[in-house]
Structure formats: C-alpha cells, structure tokens
C-alpha cells in the first residue's frame, strides 16, 4: 500500500496514558527507539508499548512500518536542512549542504543506513532536492546534467554518511578491531607478497579514518572543472 494515510483516518485520540497521538509524536518515538535499539525497534508492537496505545492505533497515521520508516527518514532530512538557504557561490552551497547531510545522518547512526537509500516523497525531501538541483543549475549546467550531477553528489554524500554511521553503530570492540587492523594486521604483511602495501606501510593507518572530506573535495573539484569547461 502506497501514499499517505487519509486525514480522516488520523483522528486524534488519547492513549491509555492520556497522551494524544500525532504523526509527529509517533516519529519522535520511532527515532528514539531506533536510536536505542536499532531499526528492528520500528515495529507496531514496540511503538504501541512505548506510546501506551493499542498497536492498531498506529495504522490511523501510517499504512505500515515502511511508511513510518519513510517519515523517520524525512524527519532526518528536515533536521539536516533546517534553516539552510544557500546564497552566492554554488560550490560553497554544495559543500555546506554536504556537511549538513553528513552530520544529520551521523546523529542517527542506528537508523542512517536504512534511511539513507530511501525516497521519502515527503516535504523535507522535496525541499532538499529542490535546493540541490537549484545549486547545480546555478553552476551553469543544463537541466539534464544538473539532475545527473545532483544525483551523483547526493549519493556520494549519503553513501559516506551511511558507511560512517554504520561503523559508529558497531559494538565498540568490533569498531576497535577494525581500526587496529591498519596498525596491526596490515603492518605485518611481507613485502615479497604485498609490495605495494609494504611501500606505503607507514601511511596505512590513514585508512582507519573517514574518507568523506577527501571524496567531497574531489567531487567538488571535478564539478568546478566541468562547469568551467562548458
């Protein structure tokens, strides 16, 4: 089932604890539960228990848990884009937008990987795409190129955001083991079997750090060069 729940189905009724259910309240609860327990917490049973209501009451606001996930994803986009109105240099605007998106998903590492690849078709996403495509058009690209470049830009940013958020969400011992691999396991590889890695052995610990900033600057430099070549 697709689309939003009709307004007439979203009548406000108090829960057992006297709280009046709203879409915003449900999304607040879903974000909190997902932050504490991961995306598996987004079940009507858990949400109903947390909100003090019959789980079936949630269907007056969302068709199913996937519909709720899209609302949660759109809330993250809304937090990310709040107050953002880039003016002037289009590249500076894209850089600022990228940092906002990355930071926004980093604040919700337990849900970021699931939320980052969905198309919410809701108000906050509409505004974000409007802003991003507008920045590409401001760079002088034709309409088709602006859309293609924006898609590549936001996928790059979201990919790094989801990857780094997933790493943050790992249990500390697993995250630590991954980080230590570059100073332990990789350092012991012999030069006769791995000559290229041996040649850069001292620099390999850099692999433990996020490549988001490097990827972003490479992408923006490429965009600038393409814009100048038009």
The pLDDT tens digits for 33-67 are: 988 888 888 899 999 999 999 999 999 999 999 99
Show the 3-state SS of 63-85: CCHHHHHHHHHHHHHHHHHCCCC
Helix extents (H) in the chain: 23-37, 44-51, 65-81, 90-106, 109-115, 123-138, 143-168, 172-181, 195-199, 212-228
Report if residue 69 sits inside a domain. no
Same-domain status, 115 and 208: yes
pLDDT of residue 40: 82
pLDDT for res 14: 58
Average pLDDT in the chain? 91
54 shares a domain with 97:
no
The reply to whether 127 and 204 lie within a common domain is yes
Residue 99 and residue 207 share a domain: yes
Q: Which two tokens stand for residue 108?
A: 């919700």
Q: Mark whether 52 and 88 lie in a shared domain.
A: no
Same domain? 111 vs 47: no
How do residues 137-169 score in pLDDT, each as one tens digit?
Answer: 999 999 999 999 999 999 999 999 999 998 988
**Which residues constitute the domain of residue 28?**
7-63
Looking at the structure, tell me whether residues 52 and 98 fall in a common domain. Answer: no
- Whole-number pLDDT of residue 13: 60
Same structural domain, 40 and 139: no
Do both 90 and 58 map to the same domain?
A: no
Please indicate, yes or no, whether residues 224 and 146 belong to a single structural domain of this protein.
Answer: yes
Q: Indicate whether 26 belongs to any domain.
A: yes
pLDDT, tens digit (0-9, with 9 covering 90-100), for 87-139: 989 999 999 999 999 999 999 988 888 888 999 999 999 999 999 999 999 99
Q: 186 and 95 in one domain?
A: yes
């Amino acid at each position: 089932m697709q689309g939003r729940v009709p307004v007439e189905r979203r009548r406000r009724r108090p829960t057992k604890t006297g709280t009046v259910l709203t879409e915003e309240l449900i999304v607040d609860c879903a974000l909190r539960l997902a932050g504490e327990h991961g995306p598996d917490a987004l079940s009507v049973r858990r949400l109903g228990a947390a909100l003090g209501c019959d789980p079936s009451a949630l269907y007056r606001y969302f068709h199913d848990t996937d519909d709720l996930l899209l609302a949660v994803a759109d809330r993250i986009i809304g937090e990310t884009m709040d107050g953002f109105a880039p003016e002037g240099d289009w590249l500076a605007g894209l850089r600022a937008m990228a940092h906002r998106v990355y930071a926004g998903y980093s604040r919700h590492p337990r849900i970021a990987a699931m939320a980052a690849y969905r198309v919410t078709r809701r108000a906050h996403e509409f505004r974000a795409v409007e802003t991003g495509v507008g920045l590409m058009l401001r760079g002088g690209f034709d309409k088709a190129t602006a859309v293609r470049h924006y898609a590549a830009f936001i996928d790059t940013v979201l990919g790094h955001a989801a990857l780094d958020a997933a790493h943050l969400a790992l249990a500390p011992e697993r995250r630590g083991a991954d980080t230590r691999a570059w100073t332990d396991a990789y350092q012991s590889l012999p030069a006769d079997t791995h000559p290229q890695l041996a040649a850069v052995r001292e620099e390999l610990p850099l692999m433990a750090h996020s490549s988001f900033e490097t990827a972003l600057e490479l992408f923006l430099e490429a965009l600038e060069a393409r814009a100048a070549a038009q």
